[in-house]
Amino acid sequence: MRSDIRPADARRLWIAATCLAVAALLLWLPALSTPFWGDDYLFLEDAFRARLEHEPWWTPFWPDSRYQFWRPLGHETYWRFVEGVLGSDPWAAHLVSLSLWLLGCLSVGLVGASLARGLRWEGAWPTGALAAAIYAVLALHFTPIHWTSSGDSLLIVLFTALALAAWTASPMSTPRVRALLSVSIPALQLLALFSKESAAVIPLLMLCMSVLTGPRCKPGRPEVVAWVACVALIVAWLVVGRRFVFPLPPQYALAIEGNVLRNIASLAAWTLNVPREALRMAILGPRVEGLLWAFAAALPMAALVWMAGCTLSKRMSPVQGTALAAFALVGYGPYFLLSWQSYEYYAQVAAILPAVVLARAAMLSKRTTAALALLVLSSCIAVEGSRWVGYPGLIGRARTGEEQLAKLVAREILEPAVPELSSPLLISVSNAHEFYAIGSAGLAWRLAWDQSDIAIVDGCRSQADVVLDFQGGDVAIVECGADEPDDLLI
């Protein structure tokens, strides 16, 4: 983008960024009330066991056993902090998630400020502030903020954005600062790899940034050495990591079939702020409501993108436009071949540079307030709708599971004698997808039982059995020996 463009008034931009930041906080603060659910309980059990066995802090980085994913910082270390320091408090855990989200957004702001300096835009810091605020409001943060198990996705945004900011700023810095920034880049690369596998694309993202910024940020010897070190770390991580992971499960299998087109369409949907729950409804039903919801969230965002395109179409060179598109595609690259799974937060890294470009467009536009209002409207429709929808939505499923656990725990406290639950604890499940929000790990954690003493069965095995029956969002105790077995609703 040419540097002779006069930006909007700095004070007005700071006010816009502040208003957008307040909107983002109001949008995401309700996530603090989200309970633990699903994989959260598995990680809590593992962290609790590690504490009881006095495992050293470095054990996850060179484990004796295999994992589904080797993410020693994003999973094991993170959950040891939640269990050991935060006392397994879901409110405190979600507060940490919000803090990581905030740090990630501020890091995106550093990317925006560094890019503004590299392209000689006026108002580098207002650009960064507006980029951070725009990124903060995007609906694609929904799952990581509401699900503690996705904390690794918040970490990958933080370390990736910091690495990109250091990469962009380093060539423009004094020799001493340049040396520090160059050394920090491989360190951030390693932290990102320990958080999530998608960090392997960071060197390619750096190249996209260099193409976009041009000669002023051309990598010199310190940056080239740092880049080569990052690639070497990735190769070493790929080789070493094989001994610590199981083969990919079916839901994470890679394929080159119709799933590629589906994932391309998913990226387009995430770009337009379409919530995952709306896509699920549009595909599985109720289709009309899902399509209406998707369009309601997408139309304001599409209008914003159109306004940004009109503003920047004559100010971005074809090379810069290609670099921007390449950044988004590379950032989402690890997920194009997934055969089944698709979540909006997969696009968090891919959205870093587009958020900066949207901030630049807002600065140059005469309709800044209208543009940012469209963004807030789109995200509110997406986020609040995702919170409101019940099962089989993610948060609806989490709420249902928490309600069942709360009823069960309350019954055992208030009415412990009718009837007694014995070991092994037998569980009958009518809907495994719904029960996933609890799982045997959740029951073991909340009831203070050993998970090995919980068994899932199809029904009564003998007249002496007492079975917990999870069905239709409720949980009941079935005494198999009764003449006329009554389901005692908890």
Where do the domains of the chain lie? 10-389, 395-489
Sheet with strand 425-429: strands edge to edge: 454-457, 425-429, 466-471, 474-479, 487-489
pLDDT tens-digit map of 308-322: 999 998 889 999 999
The residue behind tokens 């998707």 is 294
Q: Is 103 exposed, middle or buried (0-12, 13-18, 19+ CB in 10 A)?
A: middle
Looking at residue 70, its amino acid is W
- Per-residue pLDDT, averaged over 410-426, amounts to 58
Where does the pLDDT of residue 488 fall: very low under 50, low under 70, confident under 90, or very high at 90 and above? Answer: very low
Top-ranked range on mean pLDDT: pick from 215-219, 337-341, 375-379, 454-458: 375-379
pLDDT number for residue 487: 43
Residues of the chain above pLDDT 90, percent: 67
Task: Look at residue 67 and give its three-state secondary structure.
Answer: strand
pLDDT number for residue 340: 82
CA of 407: how far to CAs of 401, 453, 477, in Å? 10, 21, 12
- Per-residue pLDDT, averaged over 357-385, amounts to 92
Asked whether the predicted pLDDT for residue 416 surpasses 60, the reply is no
Where does the pLDDT of residue 29 fall: very low under 50, low under 70, confident under 90, or very high at 90 and above? Answer: very high
Dig out the tokens for 455 from the structure.
Answer: 């068994």
* Alpha carbons 185 and 167: distance in angstroms, whole number: 7
pLDDT tens-digit map of 62-104: 998 888 899 999 999 999 999 999 999 999 999 999 999 999 9
Q: What is the DSSP letter of 73?
A: I
pLDDT number for residue 4: 44
Asked whether the predicted pLDDT for residue 20 surpasses 90, the reply is yes
| Paired residues of 476 in beta bridges | 469, 489
CA of 313: how far to CAs of 1, 114, 306, 321, 360, in Å? 10, 22, 10, 9, 12
* Alpha carbons 93 and 147: distance in angstroms, whole number: 9
- Per-residue pLDDT, averaged over 425-449, amounts to 87
- Per-residue pLDDT, averaged over 250-267, amounts to 88
Dig out the tokens for 67 from the structure.
Answer: 């994992």
* Alpha carbons 65 and 389: distance in angstroms, whole number: 39
Asked whether the predicted pLDDT for residue 485 surpasses 60, the reply is no
* Alpha carbons 385 and 223: distance in angstroms, whole number: 45
Where does the pLDDT of residue 135 fall: very low under 50, low under 70, confident under 90, or very high at 90 and above? Answer: very high
Q: Is 227 exposed, middle or buried (0-12, 13-18, 19+ CB in 10 A)?
A: buried
Where does the pLDDT of residue 115 fall: very low under 50, low under 70, confident under 90, or very high at 90 and above? Answer: very high
pLDDT number for residue 144: 96
Q: How many CB atoms lie within 10 A of CB 176?
A: 8
| Entry field: residues in the chain | 490
* Alpha carbons 289 and 292: distance in angstroms, whole number: 5
- Per-residue pLDDT, averaged over 402-411, amounts to 82
- Per-residue pLDDT, averaged over 91-118, amounts to 97
CA-CA-CA-CA dihedral for 428, 430, 433, 438, to nearest 10: -40
Where does the pLDDT of residue 473 fall: very low under 50, low under 70, confident under 90, or very high at 90 and above? Answer: confident
* Alpha carbons 272 and 17: distance in angstroms, whole number: 21
Where does the pLDDT of residue 3 fall: very low under 50, low under 70, confident under 90, or very high at 90 and above? Answer: very low
> When comparing pLDDT for 392 and 93, which is higher?
93
CA Rg value for the chain: 25
pLDDT number for residue 255: 85
pLDDT number for residue 253: 83
Dig out the tokens for 63 from the structure.
Answer: 């484990």
